[in-house]
């Protein structure tokens, strides 16, 4: 039986993406490859809400490198940063800022605590210069309110850095509309490509800042080199060439499906379908605002880890565990990737069997 992935990434690949590897490749230091890259970044830019393809670059590195490189290239010692820290990925921004000696404060949320205006208000007019947020905090599934964050950033003249890695192509997102200054996305999440690339998109004022940064702490990730090269569709160093072909193919596929709206509608349909079925079989879903990318499921009487393990060992179905304090209580089911409504029916059926099995095993031990 084939493995079924309901994980946040790398996700179940589309057959079209796998087929890319059957076609011919062009040497990457050619104008032909450069043109392909430029076209892809222009299309990707439209989906992100950035009309200037020369303000987009890509790195051969996972999303965390994108987060770190933004800190290296876009912050300086005079900055005072604010981080929304609602889980693993918010915590990662804090760790990276600390590592690079950039002053910051964090709004620390409990795993099930909704981010509200009252959390932000305390930090108004306090000399902050930048706001960092993982718009969808993938570790809990909470989707923050971008309108609220964008308004706060504007009112306080903050540069707004958004890790949109797990919300882009799952929820509505637009960089221009919300005045976002840097957007970070990566290949293996909503784009449904192999892991290994991250894409960065900048506003004009962030570009100006990047060009003023004198010495970036990492030579390899100096954005000035990437921005110069990208005008010709090139990168300073060898990129993950094959994933750029996957991207070209995926952007065509999205167009063929009917554009970004059609893709978002399909994710939403899978998401709603799963949530309805999950509630029907008695599963509990948290009530803070959720992304359509995934659904967290809470367990009280049995361990989430036991359910995850049996789903994997017995049925080759993969769902995500949660780290830290929530490991026993939560699992996460992803709705991105090449999965269908029929796959969800199968998942629900198997989850029900597994939960019964875990409960029976537990009652044997007790009695
Ligand atoms: C997946 C993810 C990342 C990137 O993690 P990598 O392991 O470096 O790919 C960053 N932020 C968020 C919100 C994510 O979901």
Please state which of the ranges 56-60, 330-334, 363-367 shows the lowest mean pLDDT.
363-367
If asked whether residues 202 and 63 sit together in one domain, one would say yes
- The 8 Å CB, 24+ separation contacts for 312-316 are 314/350, 314/354, 315/1, 315/350, 315/354, 316/1, 316/2, 316/3, 316/4
d(CA 199, CA 63): 8
Domain residues for the domain of 298 are 4-9+258-366
The answer on pLDDT for 223 being more than 60 is yes
DSSP state of 291: -
Which atom from ligand 1 is nearest to the alpha carbon of 139?
A: 15
First to last CA, the chain: 36
Q: Which residues of 271-300 are buried (b: 16+ CB within 10 A; e: fewer)?
A: beebbebbeeeebebbebebbbbbbbbebe
d(CA 277, CA 323): 25
| The pair of three-digit structure tokens given for residue 311, joined into one six-digit string | 């789903």
Q: Which of 257, 274, 289 is the last residue of a domain?
A: 257
Q: Which of 235, 257, 279 is the last residue of a domain?
A: 257
Distance 184 CA to ligand 1 centre (A): 10
Distance 108 CA to ligand 1 centre (A): 19
If asked whether residues 251 and 262 sit together in one domain, one would say no
Residue among 320, 263, 316, 318 at smallest CA distance from 294: 320
Contact 183, 200 (CB under 8 A): yes
| The pair of three-digit structure tokens given for residue 24, joined into one six-digit string | 């011919």
If asked whether residues 249 and 362 sit together in one domain, one would say no
d(CA 94, CA 88): 10
DSSP state of 168: B
Distance 328 CA to ligand 1 centre (A): 22
Length of the chain: 367
d(CA 285, CA 117): 24
Q: Which of 257, 282, 309 is the last residue of a domain?
A: 257
| Residues in CB range of 49: below 8 A, 6 or more apart | 173, 174, 175, 176, 177, 180
65: domain CATH number is 3.40.640.10
d(CA 348, CA 329): 18
Which atom from ligand 1 is nearest to the alpha carbon of 135?
A: 13
Q: Summarize the confidence of residues 138-162 as an average pLDDT.
A: 98
Query: Is residue 14 situated within a structural domain?
Result: no
345: domain CATH number is 3.90.1150.10
d(CA 98, CA 121): 23
If asked whether residues 132 and 73 sit together in one domain, one would say yes
The torsion angles phi and psi of 294, rounded to 5 degrees, stand at -150, 160
Distance 367 CA to ligand 1 centre (A): 43
For 250-271, write each residue's pLDDT tens digit: 999 999 999 999 999 999 999 9
Distance 331 CA to ligand 1 centre (A): 17
Residue among 165, 163, 133 at smallest CA distance from 11: 165
d(CA 183, CA 174): 10
If asked whether residues 244 and 269 sit together in one domain, one would say no
d(CA 248, CA 321): 32
pLDDT at 117: 98
Which atom from ligand 1 is nearest to the alpha carbon of 136?
A: 13
Query: Is residue 17 situated within a structural domain?
Result: no
For 40-83, write each residue's pLDDT tens digit: 999 999 999 999 999 999 999 999 999 999 999 999 999 999 99
Q: CA torsion 162→166→172→177, rounded to 10°? A: 10
pLDDT at 366: 62
Which atom from ligand 1 is nearest to the alpha carbon of 65?
A: 8
pLDDT at 230: 98
If asked whether residues 248 and 267 sit together in one domain, one would say no
| Of 7, 58, 63, 133, best ligand 1 pocket probe by most atoms within 8 Å of the beta carbon | 63
| Of 163, 192, 323, best ligand 1 pocket probe by most atoms within 8 Å of the beta carbon | 163
Query: Is residue 15 situated within a structural domain?
Result: no
| The pair of three-digit structure tokens given for residue 237, joined into one six-digit string | 């160093």
Residue ranges around ligand 1 (CB below 6 Å): 9, 62-64, 89, 134, 138, 163, 165-166, 186, 189
Residue 1 pLDDT grade (very low, low, confident, very high; cuts 50, 70, 90): low
Q: Is the pTM of this model over 0.75?
A: yes
Q: What angle, 0 to 180 degrees and rounded to 10, lies between the N-to-C axes of helices 260-280 and 241-257? A: 80
3-class SS of residue 133: strand
The answer on pLDDT for 94 being more than 70 is yes
Within 8-145, residue ranges assigned H as helices are: 15-19, 31-48, 63-74, 88-99, 117-121
Distance 64 CA to ligand 1 centre (A): 6
Distance 150 CA to ligand 1 centre (A): 22
Distance 103 CA to ligand 1 centre (A): 23
The answer on pLDDT for 220 being more than 90 is yes
Which atom from ligand 1 is nearest to the alpha carbon of 198?
A: 9
């Amino acid at each position: 039986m084939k493995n079924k992935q309901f994980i946040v990434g790398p996700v179940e690949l589309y057959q079209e993406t796998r087929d890319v590897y059957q076609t011919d490749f062009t040497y990457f230091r050619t104008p032909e490859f450069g043109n392909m890259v430029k076209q892809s970044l222009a299309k990707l830019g439209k989906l992100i809400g950035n009309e200037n393809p020369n303000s987009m670059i890509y790195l051969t590195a996972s999303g965390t490198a994108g987060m770190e490189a933004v800190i290296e290239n876009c912050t300086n010692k005079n900055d005072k940063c604010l981080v929304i820290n609602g889980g693993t990925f918010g915590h990662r921004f804090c760790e990276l800022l600390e590592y690079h000696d950039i002053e910051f404060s964090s709004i620390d949320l409990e795993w099930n605590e909704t981010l509200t205006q009252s959390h932000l208000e305390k930090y108004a007019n306090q000399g902050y210069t930048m706001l960092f947020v993982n718009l969808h905090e993938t570790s809990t599934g909470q989707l923050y309110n971008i309108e609220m964050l964008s308004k706060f950033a504007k009112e306080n003249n903050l540069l707004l850095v958004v890790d949109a890695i797990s919300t882009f192509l799952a929820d509505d997102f637009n960089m221009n509309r919300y005045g976002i200054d840097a957007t970070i996305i990566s290949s293996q999440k909503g784009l449904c490509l192999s892991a290994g690339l991250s894409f960065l998109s900048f506003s004009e004022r962030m570009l100006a800042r990047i060009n003023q940064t004198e010495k970036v702490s990492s030579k390899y990730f100096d954005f000035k080199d990437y921005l110069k090269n990208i005008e010709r569709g090139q990168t300073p160093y060898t990129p993950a060439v094959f994933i750029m072909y996957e991207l070209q193919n995926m952007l065509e596929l999205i167009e063929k499906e009917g554009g970004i709206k059609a893709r978002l509608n399909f994710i939403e349909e899978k998401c709603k379908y799963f949530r309805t079925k999950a509630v029907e079989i008695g599963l509990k879903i948290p009530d803070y605002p959720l992304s359509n990318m995934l659904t967290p499921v809470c367990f009280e009487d049995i361990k989430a880890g036991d359910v995850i393990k049996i789903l994997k060992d017995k049925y080759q179905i993969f769902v995500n565990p949660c780290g830290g304090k929530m490991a026993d209580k939560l699992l996460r089911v992803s709705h991105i990737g090449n999965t269908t409504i029929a796959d969800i029916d199968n998942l629900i059926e198997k989850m029900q069997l597994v939960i019964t099995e875990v409960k029976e095993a537990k009652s044997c031990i007790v009695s």
